[in-house]
Structure 1
Amino acid sequence: MKKWIMPLLIIFVSATTSAQSIKNGKKDGKFETMDIVESAIECTDCFDWELIGICFWLKCKLFSCSVETSMRVRHFIPDLVVSSYTYQSEWEDTKDWNHNPSGAIGQTESIRDQATALDFKSVDIISHPALPIYNALGGEEYFCESMLDIPMMPHFLSSHDPSWSEPGIEQLYPQSILGWPRFRTGTGSWMGLLEGSWAPLYPRCGWGAHPYDPINAAVAAHRAAEIVTRNAQPHIYMPLTGNCDNRCWKPGAVNVNNGTDNRFQMLVPWVEDSTRILNGSAAWANGKNRTRESYMWTLWRRYSCCEKKGQAFLFKIDFKS
């Protein structure tokens, strides 16, 4: 490992022990950039490192060639921070980037954590401030680099996207007309299709009508994440472009009810020490309702890679899918 990487990691880990602990607990007051960095470093389960196979390379010298091997690994990297809110983001350093959120229409709260009428959520998606740490780690043999290089780069600010408040063309999509796919409340099996859902995925906009405010926020967060992880969508945004390098396989786009490559770690109102996809029983929202109606997640994305050991990549053998 490069000599400067370990001291850098020690500094940030030390900050997590000397500062107020925010792991797996409720976060009150301001949520600052260092809090987001700490929440990623502390979430070792979110990283989920695995050895999954072997890569084979052709290495040639002046008069001979040989086949070299390297380990193929995979793990998650905190690529993005997703904020979903009615009035203002909880991220103190970026809360003024998304102007004039529309708020809710006829929104009222109850003691049962339920809201009524039609709700609108603004969404920010910004590259994670801890990216330099994970990309430095990715320069080593058994770790991957993100396809993103610049921390705190805005990829989606809903106030700049007219289609977020007025869906327009997406209302004509077959998915919007049929109301499918939907965020399942079931177990993921075909029987779960009979158990209802949080909301339809399309049209991908900020409007929602679920009685639980955290669920409206989660649906909006997922919709925006689906947009930015794809190219040529009918929205105004900065797609995720770039390559993690020539030994790396990038994660797929965010997909509803599928957490293979993309999983969310809640930051506000609770900092959780695990990740999940955004669907399931409505009981998930219990205790998460906020008077300020503001929520945040880190979007962890799974990369796989192997160290380059020669001039040409030949093939790979995976131990597991």
Structure 2
Amino acid sequence: MLVFASAAITSTAFSTPAHAVNTAQIVAATANTQCMEWSVVGVCFWLKCYPCKVRTSMKVKHYIPEVVVSSYANTGANPWSEMSSLGSAKPGAEGGGNLITPNNKRDNLPRFKNADVIGHPADYVLSNMGDYICDSATTGFRPYYLSTLDVPGWRWGVTEMLYPQSIIPGRREIQKGMNGWGSVYPRQGFLVQGDDGKAGAVMAQRAADFVVRTGQPHVYKSIHARRKESRGWWPPGSYEDPLIEGSMKTHKWQQLHPSVSNSCEVWPTTGLVEQDEQGGYAYALWRPYRCCEPKGTFLYSIGQ
């Protein structure tokens, strides 16, 4: 892995990217009922005094776009235009790009992607939509991970080497049947993948995998949150694993660049994957929340 990092840094020529997605477009993309999937899943019971009586409120479930995850070849070229400066070159993380040659038969060389995980800007919109829209555990525009600050983990991969998932083939694969895009581990910036669009998706999945957890060997701020039943709030991970590749129960992805998608999905998908000429991709990570409107002292809830 050290050899790959050195080669990528020394062999790449850079060009200024044409940024193609902005904050307004990202916020507008959240107006999507297929991605949100709002539903009533139960009832919460509260004790309200004085005089004391039991009150109820609906328990709802829906997906929230927590963060924007960008993966891009050239350092400083995050396709989210307003946030591109956050991923600019840092000491030890000046270079970037792929080791892929123009020859179509040479698709067995490693690709490299930087990765940024930044709070989704729609947080400020969703938080004011009423009592039956759950609060997000993330804050809009806040950086949770910038790979240029995590050189040993993302560029060298040294912090991931001893995980069984990194050394045992077939563990934690983004795969369905014969359709395989790559492995989640080792969670670093290099991948042998002939399709650049699939490589971009795998890198986003890798970065999201540790950002949603605590105590991982990377330089990041975790977005994992503990459930708060006293206020009727159950964030992702309260009922299931925080993130499982291929499982829509734990997450959905919405493509924001190279084009904005009107739907959400999990990977791998069937058919062709859209590719960006400059190797830059951005996705919204949607994860499921459950909540109730607080109406006193929480007693218990029924339902999912």
| Bin of the TM-score, shorter chain as denominator length | 0.7 to 0.9
Q: 2:188 aligns with which of 205, 229, 248?
A: 205
Q: CA deviation at 1:197?
A: 2.2
SS at match of 1:89: coil
SS at match of 2:43: strand
Q: 1:51 aligns to what?
A: 40
SS at match of 1:31: coil
Q: 2:243 aligns to what?
A: 254
Q: Indicate conservation of the 8 Å contact 2:213/2:224, yes or no.
A: no
Q: Indicate conservation of the 8 Å contact 1:109/1:116, yes or no.
A: no
Q: CA deviation at 1:217?
A: 0.7
Q: 2:131 aligns to what?
A: 141
Quote the Cα distance in structure 1 between the aligned partners of 2:104 and 2:259. 19
What does 1:89-108 correspond to in 2, within 5 Å?
A: 89-100=78-89, 102-108=95-101
Quote the Cα distance in structure 1 between the aligned partners of 2:67 and 2:227. 15
Aligned residues: 273
Quote the Cα distance in structure 2 between the aligned partners of 1:54 and 1:110. 60
Q: Indicate conservation of the 8 Å contact 2:57/2:295, yes or no.
A: yes
Quote the Cα distance in structure 2 between the aligned partners of 1:271 and 1:104. 24
Q: 1:72 aligns with which of 48, 56, 59?
A: 59
Q: TM-score, normalised by structure 1?
A: 0.79
What does 1:146-157 correspond to in 2, within 5 Å?
A: 146-148=136-138, 150-157=139-146
Gaps (5+ residues) in structure 1? 1-27, 187-191
Q: CA deviation at 1:317?
A: 1.4
Q: CA deviation at 1:265?
A: 0.2
**Compared CA separation, residues 91 and 105, structure 1 to 2 (3 A):** closer
Q: CA deviation at 1:38?
A: 1.2
Q: Indicate conservation of the 8 Å contact 2:159/2:218, yes or no.
A: no
SS at match of 2:209: helix
Deviations 1:65-113, CA, capped at 9 Å, x for gaps: 221111000111111011111012111111121123632343135679x
Q: 1:128 aligns to what?
A: 120
Q: TM-score, normalised by structure 2?
A: 0.83
Letter in 2 for 1:236: V
**Compared CA separation, residues 304 and 284, structure 1 to 2 (3 A):** farther
**Compared CA separation, residues 38 and 115, structure 1 to 2 (3 A):** farther
Q: Indicate conservation of the 8 Å contact 2:256/2:281, yes or no.
A: yes
Q: Indicate conservation of the 8 Å contact 2:233/2:292, yes or no.
A: yes
Q: 2:49 aligns with which of 56, 60, 64?
A: 60
Q: CA deviation at 1:39?
A: 1.5
SS at match of 2:42: strand
Quote the Cα distance in structure 1 between the aligned partners of 2:194 and 2:291. 43
CA RMSD of aligned residues (A): 2.1
SS at match of 1:291: coil
**Which segment drifts farther, 196-205 or 84-93?**
196-205
Q: 2:26 aligns to what?
A: 36
Q: Indicate conservation of the 8 Å contact 2:70/2:78, yes or no.
A: yes
Q: Indicate conservation of the 8 Å contact 2:225/2:235, yes or no.
A: no
Q: 2:280 aligns to what?
A: 294
Structure 1 stretches of 4+ moved >4 Å: 109-112, 241-245
Quote the Cα distance in structure 2 between the aligned partners of 1:29 and 1:96. 12
Quote the Cα distance in structure 2 between the aligned partners of 1:118 and 1:133. 40
Identity level (%): 34
**Compared CA separation, residues 294 and 109, structure 1 to 2 (3 A):** farther
Q: Indicate conservation of the 8 Å contact 1:155/1:228, yes or no.
A: yes
Are residues 1:217 and 2:210 paired?
no
Gaps (5+ residues) in structure 2? 1-17
